[in-house]
Amino acid sequence: MAADKAEQALVAQWRDMLALHARTQCELDRALYQHGLCGSDFEVLDVLAATAAADACAFRVQEIADRVHLSQSALSRLIARLEKDGLVEREMCPEDRRGVRVALTGKGRALHDEVLPVQRAVLHRMLPDRQG
């Protein structure tokens, strides 16, 4: 049936996307490991670097979670590790004392700037041309 073939094509497309994501994530982890980071670490640094570039000083943890697609608990552990390494700093939100804001430190900014070309090179190598 045509419906079965369409469904099979949809599932195949989904599995291709998952495989591409997995291969790309593995390549990112391998490339970033020599800099002491994994792909998720870099994603958090990259989100914070973009924020700093836009003249905002920090993101709430939930805002970061929405952008890097990690659970809040996984992200909290990751941020704690980055903070221990001196790459980010946490502070209480002045407008909501229950919330926490996260910002890059100078060391975090320097590492992000050093590793950004590595991450981008992996993306260019692994992802199909999307401009065609």
Domains and CATH numbers, the chain: 2-126 (1.10.10.10)
Q: Looking at the DSSP assignment, which residues form a beta bridge with residue 59?
A: 102
Question: pLDDT tens for residues 111-130?
Answer: 999 999 999 999 999 997 76
6 pLDDT higher than 80: yes
Query: 90 by DSSP, 3-state: which?
Result: strand
Distance separating alpha carbons of residues 75 and 86, to the nearest angstrom? 16
Lowest mean pLDDT among 11-15, 38-42, 66-70: 66-70
The residue-averaged pLDDT of 18-31 equals 96
Question: pLDDT tens for residues 73-123?
Answer: 899 999 999 999 999 999 876 666 667 889 999 999 999 999 999 999 999
User: What pTM did the predictor assign?
Assistant: 0.84
